[in-house]
Amino acid sequence: MNIAGNNKNTKILMSVLVGGFIILSACVVICISMIFSVRRSYRNELTEEHRSENETKSVILGHLIMEEGRTVLNASNLLAQHPVNEEKILDAENYGRSQNEYSLIGYTDTVGRVYLDGAPYGEGEDRSLFEALDGLKYGRDMIYAGAAPEMIRQINGSSLLAASPVFFGSSIQGYIFVMIKCSDLMSVDSLAGNERLLVNRRGEIISDAVEDGKAPAPLKLAELLEERSDKSADIRSNISNITSAIGTGKKGIKKMRCADGRMMEVAYTAVDDVDDIFLVTIYNGDDMEKRMRPLLFRSTVACILVSMLMLAAVVYVWVTSSRANLNAEKLAYKDPVTGGYNQHYFREFARQIMDQNKEIPFMICRYDIVNFRFINESYGREKADALLSVCVEDFKKCFEARELAVHINADQFLAILVNDPGMDKRIENYRAAVNADARGIGVRYPIRFKAGYYQVRKQEKNIDVMIDNANAARRMLKGDDKRNRLVYSESIAEDIKKVGQIESQMQKSLAKGEFKVYIQGKWDIVNDCICGGEALVRWVKEDGTIVRPDEFIPLFEKNGFIGSLDFYMLEEVCKRLMDLKNAGKKVYPISVNQSRVLLHNPEYLDNVVDILKKYKVPGELIELEITESVFEEDRENMMAVLNKLKKCGVRLDMDDFGSGYSSLNMLIDVPFDVIKIDRLFFEDKTDNEKSKIILEKTVDIIKAIGMDIICEGVETAEQVEFLRSIGVRYVQGYYYAKPVPGEEFSAKYNI
């Protein structure tokens, strides 16, 4: 009976299973049909998108070519006002060259003389170029834009031409033209991506290639497409239709199957305002499949979910427990921002992979994105988070299975790498891939990483210590282009220890007055006398030990203590000036550096005013030195702060002008009184006539708008004479005075 009952239950179960299988199969068939329908619909949408994109690119291309056409038309009009002579030709070409972006500008006359980019070209006279242009047949105030004659291509390989006749009265004096290389046009960012070709109405691919002074036989578009296709009758018919459509000036798009079975699409559109030139774009089937893959993946997942629902009735308990375990694993190991793994998973992975590969040298890496805050503020949080996901996904593409990167927080990442000869190449490929994919999500800012590495030693087990050491190396970097990676070493450990010692002593040392005011004199080289000084900080401990500024200033800027130090220096200088005035001594203006951190302090203005009032120091005796970098962030607020400082009567100096890429716009917008020109701006210009002119004109501009100039870092008599010769009056540097303690400066100059 039990057997019968079991058989009955078995039959019922089998019936249920067969019925469920039939229903499940039907659902799968429906889902698969839906997937193919979605695939077909989406492919059609992509085709329409490709057609529209190609038309847009053709408009852009036509605009770029016609920009060159307008250049030659303007140059033609300049020449047409007078009988042409060599001086006029060169002037017109120089004008055109100043407007021309892509290639050479030239002129040929009826005699056969040729000029290129402001200079005669060739030897003797040759009318072949004139006759080639004259054969194009166009009139006054007209532009020819299209394929270049072979004579033009022999000169520099240019495949495109924009030309205009030059009239005097009713006679043509010659032709002015611009030779445009197809390769230059196609490298423009707005035309980048996919394979783009220029084709004439005869179906010939326009190329810049020149061999032995002669353009090779042009490659036919039909030949190129047939070579890549599977050469079926349908495909050959499509190729014929494409070339026929181009021959009759029509636009369109055709699908084709490649020899390896992949699909590609060929879009063709006439280039606006250009004679008989078509833009042909070949869209790779792999790229199309890649774009469709997420949608197909979601549809496939939906099919699987339906199947799983059918099976859930049979294996409910198992599925429930499996899902519970899966959710627990996701909560433990998933990063919510990137969707990848987190640092908890990383620790488990690193331990396991190192245990399984004891003979392989591994490195632990802590890295971040340089200037990620700028990216976040400029592009928005959504794109910034997308960039973080790109960093995780591209790591998987560029590194092997034994290597892993995870997102920790903000722009921080953690990775384990195999330290083999190919590691540097993988890192470079990774950086390039991230930059490429970042542009794909709309982030055009160059992505650079700042990375600290720790070489794992054999038998090491403590992952947290390895991570901390890698992070210590990373924190020692500033993120500049010259140094963006650092491997942990014992010297770094010593540096960290030294940083800890400095930070533990800085408050006490400030209270004890160990930070001393040194003053470097500023010199009037016209009257050969001192005219002021700059206050510089020196840390002299009670035992006489001196801590170099380059050891503590960068650290104080990073931890914010520089603000307290700057206020201390300002107060010490004001106190010194008050004592000298009360003693009836001669006083000179003293400049004091103000850090970016200090200017962002909301109490900054009130503190400056309180110090000036406390010591009754006239504003003209205090100069506040500010670097241009303070305007990189919150420019509007910085402008407001400086304008309020001006109302207090203090003088404002722009420090280090010319040390980087200083903008003359700063001289217009910001209310500076003094521009301090950095040594880098003039030290190598005494022997360079062009550089000397630039510096001299810069000095003239600054003086003309009512600002004083002081050149710092002057060390030689030759520099002094050079600066005096271009109108500079005030200098600062070791040639006249080194930084000395404030008391020594006062004893020598405040008499």
d(CA 16, CA 22): 10
More confident residue, 127 or 325: 127
The yes-or-no verdict on residue 4 having pLDDT over 50 is no
More confident residue, 335 or 87: 335
User: Looking at residue 211, what is its pLDDT?
Assistant: 63
H and E: helices and strands count for the chain: 24, 25
Closest by alpha carbon to 147, among 57, 79, 208? 208
pLDDT (mean) for 476-480? 68
What are 148's two structure tokens?
């270049």
For the chain, the residue count is 751
Helices (H), 362-488: 372-379, 381-398, 423-440, 463-475
Contact predicate 338/444, CB 8 Å: no
Contact predicate 610/571, CB 8 Å: no
Q: What letters, b where the CB count within 10 A reaches 16 and e where it falls short, cover 716-743?
A: eeebbebbeebebbbbbbebbbebbebe
> What's the DSSP call for residue 258?
B
Confidence of residue 378 (pLDDT cuts 50, 70, 90): confident
From 24-33, 194-203, 316-325, 616-625, the region with the lowest mean pLDDT: 316-325
More confident residue, 707 or 13: 707
275: phi then psi, degrees, rounded to nearest 5:
-70, 120
Q: Where is 141: in which H helix or E strand?
A: none
Confidence of residue 317 (pLDDT cuts 50, 70, 90): very low
The yes-or-no verdict on residue 2 having pLDDT over 50 is no
Radius of gyration of the chain (CA): 37
pLDDT (mean) for 538-546? 90
pLDDT (mean) for 102-130? 81
pLDDT (mean) for 267-296? 80
User: Looking at residue 1, what is its pLDDT?
Assistant: 33
d(CA 205, CA 199): 4
If one counts every other C-beta atom within 10 angstroms of the C-beta of residue 93, the result is 23
Q: Is the model's pTM score more than 0.75? A: no
pLDDT, tens only, 64-74: 888 888 888 88
Confidence of residue 537 (pLDDT cuts 50, 70, 90): very high
pLDDT, tens only, 563-600: 899 999 999 999 999 999 999 999 999 999 998 778 87
Confidence of residue 555 (pLDDT cuts 50, 70, 90): confident
The mean pLDDT value of the chain amounts to: 83
User: Looking at residue 19, what is its pLDDT?
Assistant: 65
pLDDT (mean) for 191-198? 83
What are 600's two structure tokens?
């962002």
Which residue is it, tokens 């003094």? 674
User: Looking at residue 16, what is its pLDDT?
Assistant: 58
User: Looking at residue 384, what is its pLDDT?
Assistant: 93
pLDDT (mean) for 34-59? 82
User: Looking at residue 161, what is its pLDDT?
Assistant: 85
% pLDDT > 70, the chain: 86
Which residue is it, tokens 């500076």? 672
Strands 412-418 and 277-284: unpaired
pLDDT (mean) for 654-671? 71
d(CA 262, CA 287): 10
If one counts every other C-beta atom within 10 angstroms of the C-beta of residue 236, the result is 16
pLDDT, tens only, 666-687: 777 778 899 998 887 776 655 6
Confidence of residue 484 (pLDDT cuts 50, 70, 90): confident
Confidence of residue 328 (pLDDT cuts 50, 70, 90): low
> 3-class SS at 204?
strand
What are the percentages of helix, strand and coil residues in the chain, rounded to 5?
A: 50, 20, 25
More confident residue, 485 or 659: 485
Which residue is it, tokens 């459509």? 245
> What's the DSSP call for residue 191?
G
Amino acid at residue number 372: F
What are 626's two structure tokens?
């500010």
Please, what are the domains in the chain?
Answer: 47-297 (no CATH), 320-488 (3.30.70.270), 509-749 (3.20.20.450)
Confidence of residue 156 (pLDDT cuts 50, 70, 90): confident
Give 446's contacts (C-beta < 8 A, 6+ positions apart).
Answer: 435
User: Looking at residue 687, what is its pLDDT?
Assistant: 60
From 112-116, 494-498, 516-520, the region with the lowest mean pLDDT: 494-498
The yes-or-no verdict on residue 7 having pLDDT over 50 is no
More confident residue, 428 or 233: 428
- Widest pairwise Cα distance in the chain: 125
Q: How far is CA 48 from each of CA 229, 255, 475, rounded to the nearest angstrom?
A: 22, 12, 50
pLDDT (mean) for 180-207? 83
What are 18's two structure tokens?
């067969």
d(CA 295, CA 285): 16
Contact predicate 26/18, CB 8 Å: no
> 3-class SS at 413?
strand
User: Looking at residue 8, what is its pLDDT?
Assistant: 46
More confident residue, 656 or 317: 656
pLDDT, tens only, 494-512: 777 777 788 889 999 999 9
Which residue is it, tokens 């470079």? 428
User: Looking at residue 3, what is its pLDDT?
Assistant: 34
User: Looking at residue 6, what is its pLDDT?
Assistant: 39
The yes-or-no verdict on residue 53 having pLDDT over 80 is yes
pLDDT (mean) for 717-721? 91
If one counts every other C-beta atom within 10 angstroms of the C-beta of residue 518, the result is 19
